Chains A and B, each alone.
Chain A
Amino acid sequence: MPAASMYLLLALLAGENHGYALMRLVDDQSQGAVRMGPGTLYGTLNRLLGDRLIIETTDDRDRADNERRRYYQLTSQGDRVARTELDRIRLLVNQFRGVPGLEGLSA
Chain B
Amino acid sequence: MSDIHTATYRRLTRLYPKSFRDEYRSDLIAVFEQQIDDDGSVRSWLRAIRDLMITVPSLHLEARMNRPPVNLVAAIAFAVAIAATIGAIFTGGSVYALILVLIAFVAVCIAVLAWRASRPAVLFESTRSWKGFLASGIALLAMIILIVNLPPMEDGDYADGVWYVMFFAVVLSIMLIAGGILLGVAKRSTPKRSSKFPLPAEGNP
Contact = CB atoms under 8 A, between A and B. Distances in A.
Interface of A: 13, 15, 19-20, 23, 35-43, 46, 52, 55, 67, 69-70, 73-79
29 contacts: A19-B27, A20-B34, A20-B35, A36-B51, A37-B48, A37-B50, A37-B55, A38-B31, A39-B16, A39-B28, A39-B54, A39-B55, A39-B59, A42-B28, A42-B31, A43-B58, A46-B20, A46-B23, A46-B24, A52-B198, A67-B30, A70-B27, A74-B204, A74-B205, A75-B200, A75-B204, A76-B204, A77-B200, A78-B200
Contacts of A74: 204-205
Nearest to A35: B47
B66 to A, nearest CB: 9
A35 B44 CA distance: 11
Interface of B: 16, 20, 23-24, 27-32, 34-35, 47-48, 50-52, 54-56, 58-59, 62, 197-198, 200-201, 204-205
Contacts of B27: 19, 38, 42, 69-70
Q: Chain B at the A interface: mostly helix, strand, loop or mixed?
A: helix
B205 A15 contact: yes
Contact of A43 (B29, B48, B59, B197): B59
